[in-house]
Amino acid sequence: MESEFIRTKDHDTIRSWIEEHGGAPVTVTDEGNAEIIDLIFGADLRDFTEISWEEFFVWFDEEGIVFEYAEEVLPGEEAFSYHFASSENVDDSHDDETELAEDNEMGEENMHDQLGE
């Protein structure tokens, strides 16, 4: 059974969920030397550069991202409990409101997937 994800664009909801689970916004350089914004949870920040919430949300809004997250998260599973998704399929009348995602297939891979973690 697939987990149901909640979808939101609301900055306060997103920040609260991330901080509640010990996360922070970061940048990391990928194999192609591109700087990527992502989230890190409870990890050593030596390989990452923490960024401000303001920087994170500027990127989030400019990219038209929706944050999909699970309400129930097992300790140590935080990185597998969220996705960044395209907002193209989100009804504009629901901007900044939380709603259930119909599915999570449209979520982009998280940084931990790219790094093979």
Domains in the chain: boundaries: 6-114
Q: DSSP for 44-73, please give it.
A: -GGGSEE--HHHHHHHHHHTTEEEEE-SS-
Q: Can you tell me the mean pLDDT for 7-15?
A: 96
Run of H or E including 35: strand 35-41
Q: Can you tell me the mean pLDDT for 48-64?
A: 94
pLDDT bucket at 34, cuts 50 / 70 / 90: confident
Mean pLDDT of the chain: 77
pLDDT in tens, 83-104: 999 877 554 433 444 444 443 3
What percent of the chain is modeled with pLDDT above 70? 71
Residue 2: its pLDDT value, please?
A: 52
Higher per-residue pLDDT: 33 or 93:
33
Residue 63: its pLDDT value, please?
A: 92
Q: Determine contact, residues 29/36, Cβ cutoff 8 Å.
A: yes
